[in-house]
Structure 1
Amino acid sequence: MASDWTTGLPEAAQAYLDGRRLDEVECIIADLPGIARGKAVPAGKFARQNYFHLPDSIFYQTITGDWGEAAGDEGFIERDMILKPDMTTATAAPWTADVTLQVIHDAFDRNGEPIPYSPRNVLKRVVELYKAQGWTPVVAPEMEFFLVARNLDPAKKIEPMMGRSGRPAAARQAYSMTAVDEFGPVIDDIYDFAEAQGFEIDGITQEGGAGQLEINLRHGDPVKLADEVFYFKRLIREAALRHDCFATFMAKPIADEPGSAMHIHHSVVETDTGKNIFAGPNGGDTDAFFTFIGGLQTHLPSVIAVLAPYVNSYRRYVRDNAAPINLAWGRDNRTTGIRIPLSGPDSRRVENRLTGMDANPYLAMAASLASGYLGMMNEVRAEPQFRGDAYDADEEIPHDLWSALDLFEEATEMHEVLGPEFARVYSIVKRTEYQEFLSVISPWEREHLLLNV
């Protein structure tokens, strides 16, 4: 890498470095949970390297740090991967004491082939399937999260953070500007960090939970937007820590509060013309629009284990509590799992409301786009539009991770889209994680079973 490599960086990264001496570069990649793995290297060393190595075992790790037996026939030999930087992702780490950049890397094997279970590669694989049809997928994610009081004891319940007023954050204050102002110092840092990193926030609102916020991002390329969500999770955590609170992306951190989702808006445009294929010549709905929805209805159950990846995730799907319980679709209807927001024909899009904020953004977008892709390719028509309150309809979502994994493992057509090797590794790691959960005795069990059974 040339010594003047910084001249080709994105504009925001160059602005961050203007007049400063770069000290360090964080070379990172997202693992299956979406945790940043990698190495921090001096800037001078980064300028001289074109790649670095990490063992492939980082993709076999569970959220607890244990490993699933997913290494394959050769056994757990921790073969080195070749990680190459995508310099378009270079961005500031503005919370660090030293001048530091972050750069997302892509994972390859020794033959130069993409590692099939690297989440960013999984999403790229799905995007390429769209491109082969002359389509360009477009997404816009919404990120919900809680700002909570510092929790140093896992045995204690999570509590809302203390607001600027000196009172705990209040629930059921959706869209309240006063509630947003309670978190003003944290939000100010979120904006400042986002600006330094070159990210455009479409808006921040108070959601229905105590201390729950939502950040909307502008629509764009799925890989770029997944990169931004990956970066944003770290950015938001760092902003919260500056103000003596935690940011959590758990799907359901507080029992009596709504959960946190990552709603994903999708549209598809013709690559050559830029025309939205969901809208016809006179602005009406097209076959592609209905078959994309049909694909979501048909295939989302098989990828719920990706969209809701932890035991806690299934606590979010509660009737009448701001999360879907089925795969109904409706226009401007927030009770349905699949919503068509108000828009003009050029902006017609389909919103998947099932994804939890705890999901890996690369895998969630890949699974959601894959479902729509299969619907369009197989010409799967959507069920009739649901009218009314979809919470009155039957539940259609698995109630637990184990059942969701059963559906995932049976979905061979979906495996061909996401990658069979990814599907194999993901299933093994998640089964291992579930077994780890079962080895822990909960306070509920001690309270109600110890002396009563």
Structure 2
Amino acid sequence: MADWMTELPDAARSYLEGHRLDEVECIISDLPGIARGKAVPALKFQRQDSFHLPDSIFYQTITGGWGEAAGDDGFIERDMILKPDMSTATAAPWTGDWTLQVIHDAFDRAGEPVPFSPRNVLKRVCKLYQDKGWSPVVAPEMEFFLVARNIDPAHDIKPMMGRSGRPAAARQAYSMTAVDEFGPVIDDIYDFAEAQGFEIDGITQEGGAGQLEINLLHGEPVKLADEIFYFKRLIREAALRHDCFATFMAKPIADEPGSAMHIHHSVLNMETGQNVFSDADGAETDLFRHFIAGLQNHMPAALAVFAPYVNSYRRYVKDHAAPINLNWGRDNRTTGIRIPLSSPAARRVENRLAGMDCNPYLGIAASLACGYLGMTRQEEPQPEFKGDAYDGDGDIPRDLGSALNMFDEAEAIHKVLGPDFARVYSIVKRAEYEEFLQVISPWEREHLLLNV
């Protein structure tokens, strides 16, 4: 890799111009989306074309426990071979020295992709589309809260203090004054994003106290998942500079809306570059209907990927900005599947179920998998819903245990995402769920201690 510096993206080269690179962070996403890896001196990175991490990083729960997912050979923590994708090299502009981050792909000793590495799962799904002559395109939206520093888990999470000296107020959606309250944090988010070569399509105030949304330009799924993976870290670092936390929990504050990762989908014909959701006359196609049907029919079984924690299901509250249904409608934000206003060339389908707490690689992969099943099976959607979808009953699992039961039975989803991934994911998530069930909540102590 003697000439590896010549492979750097333009933004990384610009960041290093006139400076000496000190360190390279070699990273990979685990199942929750945490960056795992090693930081190495730049000279050492230049001499290596791969490094090793144990496969056990994919068996670890969010609490640091372990799922018994190692397979027949037992928990021997076999080394994986991690190889850099130099197209992902980007700055770590919050560090004290000149540092780059590089995302790596995981392979076994036979050179095969590790099937439960989240980035490999998304690549697998994209390859299935490509084998059909399709090129999937996504545009994610990221919602998150800026909150006051919370160092005692026993205390409620509070909105951060704005520039005015008052806590951030809720119900100020799209308010520019509310955005101004977080100006210093947003300035750092923009600066970090520019240094990393990311283009933000816009930042808006959402309906929650201290809740913001960042929209990214549409593009290739793996590239966009990489950006969200990076964005979560840079947003957290920007917040810490201003004595607050950024959280991507699905529901951090009671009585406030939750945070979603809405995913917009379109699919291009690889030969012509045309959107397969529109025909030559601009009319909606069969594939457009089939994609919608795939989301309707298979998202319940994939919900454990879109909503991976017990907290995730607190977001699905009627009349609280999150869908509780699988209806589809045009320009209707009460439905789980929304068709935004657009030209025929930009016709797309928005999945509004995914939470911001999901792993971006896995959330996008699962959403594409549902659409793929609908397209390849030529499934037909329910009739378009018109009106307020909150008037009906919810038709998605309401807790993680129920969602995992549906996921375990979803052989069609397993075939698309990969059977080995499905096995490991279920084991790890059930281990997390069991850990949660051992915790006695304040509600139980308040209402059961002396009353039952």
TM-score (norm 2): 1.00
- 1:273 paired to 2:283: no
Residues 317-364 of structure 1 show CA distances to partners (whole Å, capped at 9, x for unaligned) of 000000000000000000000000000000000000000000000000
Per the TM alignment, residue 5 of structure 1 is displaced from its structure 2 partner at its CA by 1.5
Aligned to 2:55: 56
Per the TM alignment, residue 182 of structure 1 is displaced from its structure 2 partner at its CA by 0.1
- For residues 393 and 426 of structure 2, the distance between their equivalents in structure 1, rounded to whole angstroms, comes to 27
Aligned to 2:135: 136
Give the SS at the match of 2:139.
strand
Task: Indicate the RMSD between aligned Cα atoms, in angstroms.
Answer: 0.4
Aligned to 1:99: 98
Per the TM alignment, residue 393 of structure 1 is displaced from its structure 2 partner at its CA by 1.6
Aligned to 1:209: 208
Residues 247-287 of structure 1 show CA distances to partners (whole Å, capped at 9, x for unaligned) of 00000000010000000000000011110000111111100
- For residues 83 and 363 of structure 1, the distance between their equivalents in structure 2, rounded to whole angstroms, comes to 19
Give the SS at the match of 1:373.
helix
Give the SS at the match of 1:397.
coil
Structure 2 stretches of 5 or more lacking a match?
Answer: none
- 1:359 paired to 2:358: yes
Per the TM alignment, residue 114 of structure 1 is displaced from its structure 2 partner at its CA by 0.2
Give the SS at the match of 1:440.
coil
- For residues 394 and 139 of structure 1, the distance between their equivalents in structure 2, rounded to whole angstroms, comes to 29
Per the TM alignment, residue 26 of structure 1 is displaced from its structure 2 partner at its CA by 0.2
- 1:168 paired to 2:162: no
- For residues 32 and 236 of structure 1, the distance between their equivalents in structure 2, rounded to whole angstroms, comes to 20
Give the SS at the match of 1:142.
strand
**What is the identity, as a one-letter code, of the residue corresponding to 1:158?**
I
- For residues 117 and 140 of structure 2, the distance between their equivalents in structure 1, rounded to whole angstroms, comes to 21
TM-score (norm 1): 1.00
Give the SS at the match of 2:335.
coil
1:338-377 correspondence runs (5 A): 338-377=337-376
Aligned to 1:70: 69
1:34-433 correspondence runs (5 A): 34-433=33-432
- For residues 395 and 442 of structure 1, the distance between their equivalents in structure 2, rounded to whole angstroms, comes to 26
Structure 1 stretches of 5 or more lacking a match?
Answer: none
Aligned to 1:436: 435
- For residues 219 and 78 of structure 1, the distance between their equivalents in structure 2, rounded to whole angstroms, comes to 38
- For residues 392 and 278 of structure 1, the distance between their equivalents in structure 2, rounded to whole angstroms, comes to 29
Per the TM alignment, residue 408 of structure 1 is displaced from its structure 2 partner at its CA by 0.2
Aligned to 1:20: 19
- For residues 251 and 92 of structure 1, the distance between their equivalents in structure 2, rounded to whole angstroms, comes to 28
Give the SS at the match of 2:83.
strand
Equivalent residues, number:
452
**What is the identity, as a one-letter code, of the residue corresponding to 2:409?**
E
Give the SS at the match of 1:387.
coil
Give the SS at the match of 1:351.
strand
**What is the identity, as a one-letter code, of the residue corresponding to 1:170?**
A
- For residues 137 and 256 of structure 2, the distance between their equivalents in structure 1, rounded to whole angstroms, comes to 31
Residues 36-59 of structure 1 show CA distances to partners (whole Å, capped at 9, x for unaligned) of 000000000000000000000000
Residues 10-49 of structure 1 show CA distances to partners (whole Å, capped at 9, x for unaligned) of 0000000100000000000000000000000000000000
**What is the identity, as a one-letter code, of the residue corresponding to 2:366?**
A
Per the TM alignment, residue 394 of structure 1 is displaced from its structure 2 partner at its CA by 2.0
Give the SS at the match of 1:147.
strand
- For residues 292 and 147 of structure 2, the distance between their equivalents in structure 1, rounded to whole angstroms, comes to 36
Give the SS at the match of 1:422.
helix
